[in-house]
Structure 1
Amino acid sequence: MTDDSRAVRRRSLALLGSLLAPVAAPAWATVVLVVLAQLAAVAGPLLVAYGIDSALPLLDEGGDARPVVLASAAYLVLAVAGGLLAAAVVRASARVSQSVLLDLRGRLFRHTQRLSLEFHERYTSGRIISRQTSDTDALRELLDGGVTTLASSALAMVFTAVSLAVLDWRSGLVLLIAVVPGVILTRWFQLRSQRQYRLNRTAAARLIVRFVETMTGIRAVQGFRREERSAREYDEAAEVYRGTSAAAIRVNGVFDTGLTLIGNTTVAAVLLVGGLRAFEGDLAVGVLVAAVLYARRFFAPLAQIGMFYNSFQSAVAALEKLSGLLAEEPTVPEPAHPVALEHPRGDLRLTGVEFGYGSGPVVLPRLDLHVPAGQSVALVGETGAGKSTIAKLLARFYDVRAGAVLLDGIDVRELDPLDLRRAVVMVTQESYLFSGSVAANIALGRPGASRAEIEAAARAVGVHDVVTAMPQGYDTPVDKRGVRLSSGQRQLVSFARAFLADPAVLVLDEATSSLDVPGEALVQRGLRTLLAGRTSIVIAHRLSTVMGADRVLVVDAGRVVEDGAPDELAVGDGRFADLHAQWRASLLR
């Protein structure tokens, strides 16, 4: 085992230990119930032996029926008690497992929310869904019945072997000899199933990822007529999953058949050896019957232990992935001693900023920039020039490699995260709307806002009439991603959300790109209201939006190559002048 494998194993065990620690008491209570259930089950053959060898002769010799009645009654009581204890084990283990899974799901959700934007941009949504579904289900299968099955099976084998050895050591020796091929077969099964189940889990995860990504991007799939290709790729993933599942089933089939053969052979051997001894008077008939019952009972738990190994391997693989996700650390950590910013003005300054994504190349080599409070700045440039990167740094979705981003003279890495999020709001072209009403989506900007404040925000950006024309007005539900609204309407709702939040700094990253031409005038009026009196950073390809800014920065390869008022730059001979001329020419066509 490599050092990395050991580290992963330790990390997984630490996670499991932290999940089990809060439920230690009910877990130990479950163990006690398992022990009692197996003691009740193993006592049955002993009572049979007593009834045949001791109770029946007394009935035949003296007519005393009490021993037979007592043996039968005791057997019945133990059978009922064993059933009740088995049911109690199922309930107790279910309570423990569901408590553990509730804790785990909560941890995964909270931790995934806490991780930085960098993580979410490289970790696909399909993989996250797989962690929350198939991987937690694998752990559920282990905890719901796997652990108690292992404990019950192991105790059943130990109690059975000990009882048979005490009852008749020669029959116990026959059983001991038969254990050897059973253990060899079980070990073979463990090695084979470990490999097969890892392949199966990987194939299942890839199938889920393929399905989720296709359905998430269904518009692109249909728009570019990729249905057949997507179907082929999905079929290939499904075929791999089918193949790994079939291989795992074949391994199970060999194990089950071999174990059944060994068990039946052992029963026959115990019956043969014990029968010859009983014929010679060296073994009581009742003991022989009990020995046969114990031999039949011994190998069923061994099969359950082998099957447990399947669940165990699947759960181990899932636990490694889950612990890996929970081990991810935010690349944008919260400050150790956060600085409060109760009344932000919106003064922005970037000093000596150097940045690159992850361990990748530098995309902002060195940037110095000052945006006074209340100033509106537009960033323009080619795709990949670094405009959105600057916006993400201002909102602290990423941290700089060198230099600092200051808000009102305070490094954003030291600001209280809540104060920073209230002071700086970013609106992107995605304009994501959550399931719920239009009012609830607008109120996301300031939870607890009154209906009057929500409507005032909608009026300010020009979306009030659109909302009131809907079937239920502000109570109209929007589906996931706001599919009941057009892209322009969703963007206007996101503007209302930002207006209601009333930040000191507003960052618009291509926020007007989805708007149609007829609605552009309305949107421009809404933007003027939205941007008035606050610092704003506007990234837009629409020069109608850019021309309304106080200042334009032309960005190229992470550097500011032009800086000035839009009217002044438009009449110059730089890059912005070229863009302005192209825009004017497009208006005349």
Structure 2
Amino acid sequence: MSKSHNARGGASRPPGPGGPGGPPGMMMPGVKAKNFKGTLKRLLGYLKPFRLRLFIVLITAILSTLFAIISPKILGEATDVLLDGWLAKFNNEPGAAIDFQRIAYILAILAALYVISSLFAFLQQYLMARVAQKVVYDLREDVNSKLGRLPLRFFDARSNGDILSRMVNDVDNIANTLQQSLTQMITSVVTLLGIIIMMLTISPLLTLILVLTLPLSFVVIALIAKQSQKHFKSQQDQLGQLNGHVEEMYTGHTIIKAFGREKQSVEKFRQMNEVLYHSSWKAQFISGIMWPLMGFIGNIGYVLICVVGGIQMTKGNISVGNIQAFIQYARQFTQPIMQTANIANIIQSTIASAERVFELLDEEEEQEQAQPTKKISNPKGNVSFEHVQFGYSDDKLLMKDLSLDVKSGQMIAIVGPTGAGKTTLVNLLMRFYNIQGGKITIDGERIESFNRSYVRSLFGMVLQDTWLFNGTIRDNIAYGRAGATEDEIIAAAKAAHADHFIRTLPEGYDTVLNEEASNISSGQKQLLTIARAILADPPMLILDEATSSVDTRTELFIQQAMHNLMQGRTSFVIAHRLSTIKDADRILVMNQGSVIEQGTHEELLAAGGFYADLYQSQFANGGAGEVEMEEYQS
């Protein structure tokens, strides 16, 4: 069973200020895309079906922001009414009184504006969440479908962590940006423009004074972002290394304890944690001084506004309420600027993530040119290799002229040193790779004339590396054939000598296998994979012996289960112990991609060649100390 990894790769958002839960507006490190415009255009293509909803989101974002922007000006009117009434009473003017009815009317309008603004904000978030999640749903579907169409060489050339990072982390990064940053960008721009317009209606002079502080704000943002970005990058790099070390510590804890390396492992963790600590506090501290500095610059603007505004008020050019409204606008003025700069960085990071996803989607797929409905009515399992040529790269052939004829029901054992081509031969049978020359046939038909999925359905596989998923034992066995009944599952388990140990488990067939199926032994896992292959009932088998790490009793069970499985089926057995293949109908001895010897066990021993030397090396000194085939080098 494959282990789940939280492979956080690609563009990630640093914790702390500007991250989830931090104050808005902190500059975050951006990861630039190679082709920003092309990737952005392609990502927008996923948004195209939702143009109407996005237009509504745009309108609701603008309306929500506008209603919120108007509010300080209206609140300033209430202040003016209150102040005018108070001054009239203070000056003992005839009939002087505070017009509370008008104040109540203004406050009612203000409350209505806040409610309407909140409703539009709610509608905006609701629609954008639906659009964002549908877009990433389609994106995940495309990626998942693409992975199913990619050839084996793609997975051979890339780490699982990188593929997982593109499918999970990069897509999540896109989702977060679509759902949050796009609407924030709209509201920030509208807020900035709206605030400037409202301030101009109050006092162009005060607006000019405030705008003059902008260059200083931009200089501070640029300097802090430049310094914090390198520390954030170091923080993410160190975090990745620390995560890798922690994973090694806990997945290999048995080996660490067995060799008494606990202290060294803990010390290495301490050193890495120390480096991460220094990178993190520097990044957080430098980014954290953004707000105090911006506050200082803002206060300079407030002082100037108050001084100039006070002078303007004494001249009767501006009211107290308008000064109050202007100060509120001034306090809001820097926030959308910082948010816009921050979101621009986030979008850079998101486009980089999208580019990584699109790189995966653009990978060359397996070309399927076969007739989709062509099948063998009654598969016998006759397999033929005729002058096959193959190499993982066209300029370097591994197999130059491989010929082989296998009859139905035969057991073919494949032996040879590491890199001889045993696994390659199996991969060609399953059409994981296409050959460069010659042909491979099944029951006289070229395998290229069938769909790959059909070719693979003709084979059952039991590999040395067992694969069991997180689920019940029943579900893992039933994976071999869709729609299998309970009786068929139990019959397959009995044939694989697995039924007895399954029934000794507390939950029997309902026992849930945990991560890596570590709650059962290696031998028991192998028996389950054999049961799964028996249930599939394929005409041909590919078996990779996996008895080297089990006890003698379990090995006997596995050998008996293998024997039951191979009855009446063409079988290709990758052999590691020569003692298990003495009864094979034919033994293929491979080296450097070619079959250098073939025959029965007795014929090959009598020939005194490569196989005979190999056999003697494994059973020297009366057969003591069998040597694994993979350890034998030519």
Q: Same fold by TM-score, threshold 0.5 exceeded?
A: yes
* CA distance in structure 1 between the partners assigned to 2:265 and 2:297 by the alignment: 48
Q: Kindly provide the CA deviation profile for residues 434-477 of structure 1, in whole angstroms up to 9, marking residues without a partner as x.
A: 12222221111112111211222222233233323333332333
Greater Cα shift, 49-58 or 401-410? 49-58
Q: Does structure 2 retain, via aligned residues, the 8 Å contact 1:458–1:493?
A: yes
Q: Which residue of 2 aligns with 1:412?
A: 447
Q: Does structure 1 retain, via aligned residues, the 8 Å contact 2:196–2:207?
A: yes
State how 1:136-285 maps to structure 2 within 5 Å: 136-189=171-224, 197=232, 200-212=235-247, 215-216=250-251, 238=273, 241-285=276-320
Q: Which residue of 1 aligns with 2:600?
A: 565
Q: Does structure 2 retain, via aligned residues, the 8 Å contact 1:42–1:159?
A: yes
* CA distance in structure 1 between the partners assigned to 2:496 and 2:424 by the alignment: 27
What amino acid maps onto 2:525 in structure 1? R
* CA distance in structure 1 between the partners assigned to 2:356 and 2:268 by the alignment: 24
Change (3 A) 1:536 1:101: same
- Cα offset for 1:71? 2.0
* CA distance in structure 1 between the partners assigned to 2:250 and 2:51 by the alignment: 42
Q: Which residue of 2 aligns with 1:506?
A: 541
Q: Does structure 1 retain, via aligned residues, the 8 Å contact 2:462–2:543?
A: yes
Q: Does structure 2 retain, via aligned residues, the 8 Å contact 1:355–1:400?
A: yes
| 1:555 correspondence with 2:590 | yes
Q: Does structure 2 retain, via aligned residues, the 8 Å contact 1:190–1:309?
A: no
State how 1:415-564 maps to structure 2 within 5 Å: 415-564=450-599
* CA distance in structure 2 between the partners assigned to 1:33 and 1:201 by the alignment: 37
Q: Kindly provide the CA deviation profile for residues 44-95 of structure 1, in whole angstroms up to 9, marking residues without a partner as x.
A: 2321343455686589577665543322221222233333433444444333
Q: Kindly provide the CA deviation profile for residues 104-127 of structure 1, in whole angstroms up to 9, marking residues without a partner as x.
A: 444444444543333333433333
3-state secondary structure, aligned to 1:425: strand
Change (3 A) 1:42 1:326: same
- Cα offset for 1:160? 0.4
| 1:46 correspondence with 2:73 | yes
* CA distance in structure 2 between the partners assigned to 1:461 and 1:449 by the alignment: 16
Change (3 A) 1:402 1:192: farther
Q: Which residue of 2 aligns with 1:123?
A: 158
3-state secondary structure, aligned to 1:436: coil
State how 1:568-587 maps to structure 2 within 5 Å: 568-583=603-618, 585=620
* CA distance in structure 2 between the partners assigned to 1:399 and 1:234 by the alignment: 46
* CA distance in structure 1 between the partners assigned to 2:254 and 2:467 by the alignment: 16
Q: Kindly provide the CA deviation profile for residues 334-358 of structure 1, in whole angstroms up to 9, marking residues without a partner as x.
A: 4465462243322222233333346
What amino acid maps onto 1:167 in structure 2? I
User: 1:341 aligned to 375, 391, 394, which one?
Assistant: 375
- Cα offset for 1:367? 2.0
Q: Kindly provide the CA deviation profile for residues 209-260 of structure 1, in whole angstroms up to 9, marking residues without a partner as x.
A: 5544555555555556665565566556555554554443244234323322
Q: Which residue of 2 aligns with 1:31?
A: 58
- Cα offset for 1:379? 0.8
3-state secondary structure, aligned to 2:557: helix
* CA distance in structure 2 between the partners assigned to 1:108 and 1:224 by the alignment: 42
* CA distance in structure 1 between the partners assigned to 2:167 and 2:428 by the alignment: 30
Q: Which has the larger share of helix?
A: 1
Greater Cα shift, 576-585 or 282-291? 576-585
Q: Does structure 1 retain, via aligned residues, the 8 Å contact 2:477–2:531?
A: yes
- Cα offset for 1:554? 0.7
* CA distance in structure 2 between the partners assigned to 1:324 and 1:207 by the alignment: 28
CA RMSD in angstroms, aligned pairs only: 3.2
Q: Kindly provide the CA deviation profile for residues 478-522 of structure 1, in whole angstroms up to 9, marking residues without a partner as x.
A: 223322222112112111111111222211123444443233333
- Cα offset for 1:194? 5.6
User: 1:295 aligned to 324, 330, 335, which one?
Assistant: 330
User: 1:286 aligned to 316, 321, 326, which one?
Assistant: 321
- Cα offset for 1:380? 0.9
Change (3 A) 1:21 1:406: farther
* CA distance in structure 2 between the partners assigned to 1:240 and 1:327 by the alignment: 38
Change (3 A) 1:279 1:334: same
Change (3 A) 1:196 1:36: farther
Name the structure, 1 or 2, with higher relative contact order (CA <8 Å, separation 6+).
2
* CA distance in structure 2 between the partners assigned to 1:373 and 1:201 by the alignment: 57
Q: Does structure 1 retain, via aligned residues, the 8 Å contact 2:225–2:287?
A: no
How high is the TM-score relative to the length of structure 1? 0.88
* CA distance in structure 2 between the partners assigned to 1:250 and 1:501 by the alignment: 61
- Cα offset for 1:270? 1.6
- Cα offset for 1:202? 4.8
* CA distance in structure 2 between the partners assigned to 1:9 and 1:210 by the alignment: 34
User: 1:394 aligned to 412, 429, 436, which one?
Assistant: 429
* CA distance in structure 1 between the partners assigned to 2:369 and 2:548 by the alignment: 35
What amino acid maps onto 2:579 in structure 1? S
Q: Does structure 1 retain, via aligned residues, the 8 Å contact 2:523–2:555?
A: no
Q: Does structure 2 retain, via aligned residues, the 8 Å contact 1:491–1:514?
A: no
| 1:325 correspondence with 2:325 | no
User: 2:134 aligned to 90, 99, 106, which one?
Assistant: 99
Q: Kindly provide the CA deviation profile for residues 247-285 of structure 1, in whole angstroms up to 9, marking residues without a partner as x.
A: 432442343233222222112212211211211223333
Change (3 A) 1:79 1:526: closer
What amino acid maps onto 2:73 in structure 1? L
3-state secondary structure, aligned to 2:212: helix
Q: Does structure 2 retain, via aligned residues, the 8 Å contact 1:356–1:362?
A: yes
Q: Does structure 1 retain, via aligned residues, the 8 Å contact 2:431–2:452?
A: no
Q: Does structure 1 retain, via aligned residues, the 8 Å contact 2:228–2:283?
A: yes
Q: Does structure 2 retain, via aligned residues, the 8 Å contact 1:198–1:314?
A: no
Q: Does structure 2 retain, via aligned residues, the 8 Å contact 1:117–1:398?
A: yes
What amino acid maps onto 1:471 in structure 2? P
Q: How many matched pairs? A: 584
Q: Does structure 1 retain, via aligned residues, the 8 Å contact 2:415–2:576?
A: yes
* CA distance in structure 2 between the partners assigned to 1:557 and 1:256 by the alignment: 66
* CA distance in structure 1 between the partners assigned to 2:100 and 2:506 by the alignment: 83
* CA distance in structure 1 between the partners assigned to 2:54 and 2:441 by the alignment: 52
Q: Kindly provide the CA deviation profile for residues 147-195 of structure 1, in whole angstroms up to 9, marking residues without a partner as x.
A: 2222212211110001111222212222222223223434445555665
What amino acid maps onto 1:486 in structure 2? S
